[in-house]
Chain A
Amino acid sequence: MVSSLALLLAQSAEEQLKELQDKVALDSSILLEQFYFYTVVVMWLIHVGFMAYEAGAARRKNIMSTAMKNILTIAVVTPTFYYFGWYIYGCFEEGWPKSGHASPDAFEGYCGLTAPWSAGLGPNLADHASLVFFLAFLLFSWTTGSIMSGALIERVRLSAYLILTALLGSFVWIMDAAWGWSYGGWLTTRFGFHDSIASLVVHGVAGAFTLGVLLNLGPRIGKYDIKGRARSFRGHNTHMTLMGLMLIFTGFYGFYAACLLITSTSFPGWLNIYGSPTTLGTIAMVITVGFAGGFTGGWFASKGDPFWTLSGGLAGVISVSAGADMYHPMLAYLLSISGAFLAVWTGTYIEKKLRIDDAVGAVAVHGVCGFYGVFLVGIFAGGYPTGINNIPVSFGGQLMGMLAFLPLAFLPGYGAAWVLKKLNLLRVPPEVELEGLDLAEFGQDFYPEFERAPEVIVMPDGQAVEAAPVLLDAYWQTTAGSRS
């Protein structure tokens, strides 16, 4: 009798415990859902920022065509990422889905959940994680497109950009992410590749892809004189550009936060993308100090140039993002200063020596500093255990990631731009470029109540002159072959 009563009480306690555990687990998953929802909201600011940043850097005649690229990035990358991008992330972690939809080994069945027809991607009251994860990655995809966007302004066709950004955002970067930015990725599980807040996977890859596009696109008419010396165009509103950068910086906090994972009933604390422990405070500290170091380095490297000072902040953060989950703040400070110097120097080199017209320095800031970031992890964080296999970080592992991602990013960008160029769909006609894209695309000037001042161009010797005769001369040189 007593033993039966004890058994009943035990069963009752067990049921209560189970019920309590289920409720806590549900709360935990809803907390995760809320967390990612708000990171997505904050990350929208990145795209507001890119739009303002690039529109401010454009001349008055190209404002809306520049801004529209950022807006339509969302229209194009969202469906292509739904159909292809998320599936690539879920299924290609091991290089290819070797066990079909049961892949990958590290997270059995995850591949199937990322298929466009899966229950993970539709209304599903039992799944609080899949859709918010999808959205966070989608926002990263938009970011890769926006990184490329600024470099191409004032001469690329909007439609060509949209095709290229769909390729970059829904195929290229996400393949890189599957390989080296997931806890089942082959670079992670075999080589301990460590890029926790996506220095290379997002920024470096977008920069390398952009370089491939720029080589086909060519410079804006009048950018270089007949001797190959660089002229500078004056953006129509530097203040708007700087405000855009500040908005990007704000959105970056959401980006950083979205790179971590918290489900308190499964893990004791925050995890990075590889499943290694860290804290939200650690990465928040590194990004903040990274901005401080980046602004400092950008200011001194550019001798006080406003554009490069703020771009230096971005470069500084990108340089420390790969190791943001484990760097000491003062190490991040020093490294971010060096990253900003690197961005200013390489940006100048790319413009003046390589004669590649990157309108906003995206290849230097995102591309070079993205690769630099994972390089630094190999030097300063060697031995740190990464991922579920606890593979120590090594310089060789970091190098393996760089060697895998450089061709994977550069070649599709170069190839797709080359095809568009051959089809005469990459660049606007020179007459339209000279007149300004806004009149051709939208039929209007977007500052109708402001008097139009003559466009100014800065010559290689630093002298600011009226742009029209210089551009007309360059136009004639550009079109001489086609008219003779």
Chain B
Amino acid sequence: MIIKSLLAGAVLAASTMATADAVEQGKAIAFDRKKGNCLTCHQMEGGTLAGNWGPPIMAMKARYPNKADLREQIWDPTKRNPMTSMPPFGRNGILTEEEIDLVVEFVHSL
């Protein structure tokens, strides 16, 4: 019993750590001018010199209760709005699938 809950605790801690790590990695990709370069258009907490081409990114958990929808918006925003100027990061291979997963973790934390 004790061992089991200890184990569960360890697993829980490990997964929270993994998530925190993913958020940090995602942030690095999002802010990197050669990768996501999201600050060109969006204000995001922790970033400086942001543009105002797109809306500020905040309250993402409320706006996107379902992470998959957020991923979809980043993978190919033209699905929701064919005229959008936001680049299709997944569809056009600007970021890899793994990089997008990490960016989603970061953006969902905002």
A and B form one complex: no
